[in-house]
Chain A
Amino acid sequence: MKNRAWLFVAPVLLLVALNALVPIMAVINYSLHYSFAGSAPEFAGLNNYIEVFTDPDFLGALRRQFLFSFCVLLVQIPLGILIAMQLPKSGKSVVVCLVLLGIPLLIPHTVVGLLWRIMTVYEVGIISKIFSYVFDYSYRVTQNPVDAVLTIFFLDVWHWTPLVVLLSYAGLVAIPDQFYQAAAIDGASAWKTFRYVTLPKLRAVLIIALLLRFMDSFMIYAEPFIISGGGPGNWNTYLNQYVARKAESYELGYAGAASIAYLYIVVVCCFIFYTIMTNLGKGIKR
């Protein structure tokens, strides 16, 4: 039986390992060498890593990245659950609601960036116009740091809250009605029903939603690039873009070390989330 299991998993492992392991090995190799184009690479030990973690630009991008991901999760997860709870559970409208929710998810990141760019172009875009007519405020994404950061934030909320809604909805529909009936008989308040019936049952899907959203928001790349080129200044430059800039200028040692550090941070965060959420569920069950 055990051998058969491995046989079944083999294609999955093979395909993922091909794409994951080979490049990671190469990047680790880059990160341990100085990058001089042309000459033979010289072994650098951990110097690249030291350089990365003492680089104020990297640390700044890292700070912005954490802040961004934190804010995005803080809004998207509760909002997603709230909307999912309002959606109809049966009837013809379900299909319409779900299909409409799926539409933003189908738009490529670059195109979403473009779409919001079109809406926020100074004096042409609709959002920019609304701001100048209604609030008499000149909304300039390329000049005003606050505007730029808020645009990316709302863009991400618009783009990805539907995913959280879809996942939460899947979890909600799977909860048998008996649970709610039992809670109603016990005279539980709406909040208590949510806290002790709905939320624990949603745990499994919320783990997926949280992990997916954390990883994806942590890798945000195309949108800030298209909206304002990461500017003004470094205000909209997040980690992925910063590392990509270094890679494009062929600072392979530095970029390699930064990527490995980056990957390590994400995996550790995900592992912490995963462990906390799995254990939390165990506590509630008892």
Chain B
Amino acid sequence: MKKRIIFLVCFYILLMFPIYWMIVNSLKTENEIFTMTTFFPKEITFANYIEIFTNPIWTDSLINSIIYVCLNVVITLLAAIPGAYAFSRWKFRGSNHLFFWLLTNRMAPAAIFMIPFTELYFTLKLFDTHLGVALAHCLFNIPLAVWILEGFMSAIPKEIDETAFIDGFSFFRFFRKVFFPLIAPGIGVAAFFVFTFSWVEMIIAKTLTGPLAKPMVVTIAVAQQAVEGTRWGLMSALTVVMILPGIFVVYFVRHYLAKGFSLGRV
């Protein structure tokens, strides 16, 4: 038992060290980062954070990111819930192959695909809009959400559906009153993963956005090339800011996560 705890503590120290280091660096002055190795800042400065939250370049792109990620979560779940229901309840011609094909779409976003991708979204008049990025991210998020939700839904016995229909529930009412509460943990878990993958995606977001909808990941990547080697403190603070919304989401679904993990296959 003791061995186990020591092992876990070591693992978590290794896991958290880079993040701790980033937080510490973000609170140090540039000078301190370069001249000495300190595990705690000698003088704490919030200058980096003040700059991020007052400079419109950073605040705008942060808001852009949040808007399209949330839109993507909504669209993905709206499409994936009925889809996953169909996969879990009915066997239809080619359903297994369809499932595998869906998953392979995670691999498409190699750089070359971005050229026709851009043309497509130009034609749809969705280039440089939040909706455009949200729709594009469905490419890899919908398959993932379907896969996760299908696992949860298959764990719920079919008899529940049948009993509800015999009791005279309409399909919509059954879904809302009976089925939805049962798979709520699954939706929480799926929402978490969908949020995460949309939040961290860069190649598509970079190609499909111009000045209007430019997300945080892209602005950081650009800034990293521009201020190379000089502003590590600011870069560290930006990394911390990038993690915050995710932590908020994890906190929001934390009970579902633990519960969801014990139910479904993800």
- B177 interface residue per 8 A CB criterion: no
- B250 interface residue per 8 A CB criterion: yes
Known A1-B90, A110-B217, A114-B235: A170·B261 in contact at CB below 8 Å: yes
Q: Which residues of B contact A110 (CB under 8 A)?
A: 202, 217, 220-221, 224
- The CA-CA distance from A34 to B242 in the complex, in Å, is 42
- The CA-CA distance from A84 to B191 in the complex, in Å, is 22
Q: B143's contact among A16, A129, A243, by CB below 8 Å, is which?
A: A16
Contact B199 A108 (CB under 8 A): yes
Q: Which residues of A contact B139 (CB under 8 A)?
A: 15-16, 19-20
Nearest CB in chain A: distance from B103 CB, A: 7
- The CA-CA distance from A256 to B116 in the complex, in Å, is 11
Known A115-B18, A174-B262: A23·B116 in contact at CB below 8 Å: yes
Nearest CB in chain B: distance from A98 CB, A: 6
Contact B111 A240 (CB under 8 A): yes
- The CA-CA distance from A114 to B143 in the complex, in Å, is 29
- B232 interface residue per 8 A CB criterion: yes
Contact A219 B107 (CB under 8 A): yes
Q: A30's contact among B37, B112, B147, by CB below 8 Å, is which?
A: B112
- The proximity string for A residues 123-136 relative to B, scoring 1 for CB distances below 8 Å and 0 otherwise, is 01010010000000
Known A20-B105, A158-B15: A174·B265 in contact at CB below 8 Å: yes
Number of A-B contacts (CB under 8 A): 252
Nearest CB in chain A: distance from B18 CB, A: 6
- B113 interface residue per 8 A CB criterion: yes
Which parts of A172-228 form the interface with B (CB within 8 Å)?
173-174, 204-205, 208, 211-212, 215-216, 218-219, 221-222, 226
Contact A100 B15 (CB under 8 A): yes
Contact B247 A204 (CB under 8 A): no
Which parts of A20-36 form the interface with B (CB within 8 Å)?
20, 22-27, 30
Nearest CB in chain B: distance from A218 CB, A: 7
Which parts of A97-132 form the interface with B (CB within 8 Å)?
97-111, 114-116, 118-119, 121, 124, 126, 129
Which parts of B29-61 form the interface with A (CB within 8 Å)?
33-34, 37
> Which of A38-46, A143-151, A262-270 interfaces with chain B?
A262-270
- The CA-CA distance from A215 to B251 in the complex, in Å, is 28
Known A12-B142, A30-B112, A114-B239: A218·B107 in contact at CB below 8 Å: yes
- B117 interface residue per 8 A CB criterion: yes
Which parts of B106-134 form the interface with A (CB within 8 Å)?
106-117, 119-120
Which parts of B198-214 form the interface with A (CB within 8 Å)?
199-203
Which parts of B214-266 form the interface with A (CB within 8 Å)?
217, 220-221, 224, 229, 232, 235-236, 238-239, 242-243, 246-247, 250-251, 254-255, 257-258, 260-266
Contact B18 A119 (CB under 8 A): yes
Nearest CB in chain B: distance from A67 CB, A: 19
Contact A247 B112 (CB under 8 A): yes
Contact B239 A171 (CB under 8 A): no
Q: Which residues of B contact A30 (CB under 8 A)?
A: 112, 115
Contact A221 B203 (CB under 8 A): yes
Q: Which residues of A contact B172 (CB under 8 A)?
A: none
Nearest CB in chain A: distance from B117 CB, A: 5
Q: Which residues of A are in contact with B by a Cβ distance under 8 Å? A: 1-2, 4-6, 8-9, 11-13, 15-16, 18-20, 22-27, 30, 83, 86-87, 94-95, 97-111, 114-116, 118-119, 121, 124, 126, 129, 158, 162, 166-167, 169-171, 173-174, 204-205, 208, 211-212, 215-216, 218-219, 221-222, 226, 240, 243-244, 246-248, 252, 255-256, 258-259, 262-263, 266-267, 270-271, 274
Excluding A219-B109, A263-B110, 20 further A-B contacts by CB distance (< 8 Å) are A5-B92, A12-B82, A16-B143, A20-B105, A22-B120, A95-B258, A98-B254, A101-B15, A102-B196, A102-B257, A106-B243, A106-B246, A107-B200, A108-B201, A115-B22, A124-B34, A158-B18, A204-B265, A205-B265, A222-B221
Q: Shortest 3 CB-CB distances between A and B: which pairs? A: A106-B246, A26-B116, A244-B111
Q: Which residues of B are in contact with A by a Cβ distance under 8 Å? A: 4, 7-8, 11-12, 14-16, 18-19, 21-22, 25, 33-34, 37, 75, 78-80, 82-83, 85-87, 89-90, 92-93, 95, 98, 100, 102-117, 119-120, 135-136, 138-139, 142-143, 146-147, 151, 192, 196, 199-203, 217, 220-221, 224, 229, 232, 235-236, 238-239, 242-243, 246-247, 250-251, 254-255, 257-258, 260-266
Could you list some 9 contacts between A and B, CB below 8 A?
A2-B93, A8-B82, A9-B86, A12-B82, A23-B116, A87-B8, A103-B16, A222-B202, A240-B111
